[in-house]
Amino acid sequence: MRTLLIGPIAVAMLAGCNTVAGMKEDSRQATEYTYEKREEYQRKIASELRDLDARTDELKAEAARSGEAVKAEFARDLDELGRQKAVLDEKMNAVKSSSAAAWDSAKSEMNSAMDSMRRIYERARARFQ
């Protein structure tokens, strides 16, 4: 009878060990996946920022050919774009240094800052249409 009870208990204990080890491995893989996604996200945002900078440079050239009123309004938009760019740099640093646990929050804040930057750019671009 003892042998019959010891067998299932031993199996349950070993299964528990494998489950804990499996959980640790799953956790490690999830962390690695999060870091890979974070790096991919950083590349995507950096690419978007380069594109936005290039389009802003085109607007600057167009503003140089515009009247004084448009130049003054565009100068205000450029100042606002500069301030928002500083916010984006801060958020990007937060994304780069975020832990796996803080990744979702850092990404959400970065997305919000990028949306704000896009709105400012679109407002500036609308002055030339």
DSSP annotation string for 28-85:
HHHHHHHHHHHHHHHHHHHHHHHHHHHHHHHHHHHHHTS-HHHHHHHHHHHHHHHHHH
Q: How many residues does the chain have?
A: 129
Per-residue confidence (pLDDT) for residue 51, from 0 to 100: 94
What is the domain extent for residue 88?
A: 2-126
**DSSP label at residue 15:** H
Mean pLDDT by 10 residues, the chain (129 residues): 52 54 64 78 92 91 88 90 92 86 87 93 86
pLDDT of res. 55: 92
Please give the tally of structural domains in the chain.
1
- The per-residue pLDDT for 99 is 83
Q: What is the pLDDT of residue 71?
A: 87
- The pLDDT assigned to 19 comes to 72
At 2 the pLDDT is 52
Q: Is the dihedral angle over the CA atoms 62, 67, 70, 73 positive or is it negative? A: positive
Other beta carbons within 10 angstroms of residue 60's beta carbon come to 13
Q: In angstroms, rounded to a whole number, what is the distance separating the alpha carbons of residues 116 and 72?
A: 21
What is residue 76's predicted lDDT score, i.e. its pLDDT?
A: 92
pLDDT the model gives residue 101: 81
> What Cα–Cα distance (Å) separates residue 72 from each residue in 59, 64, 83?
13, 11, 17
pLDDT at position 3, please? 52
- pTM, rounded to two decimals: 0.69
Contacts of 31 by beta carbon, 8 Å cutoff, 6+ apart:
100
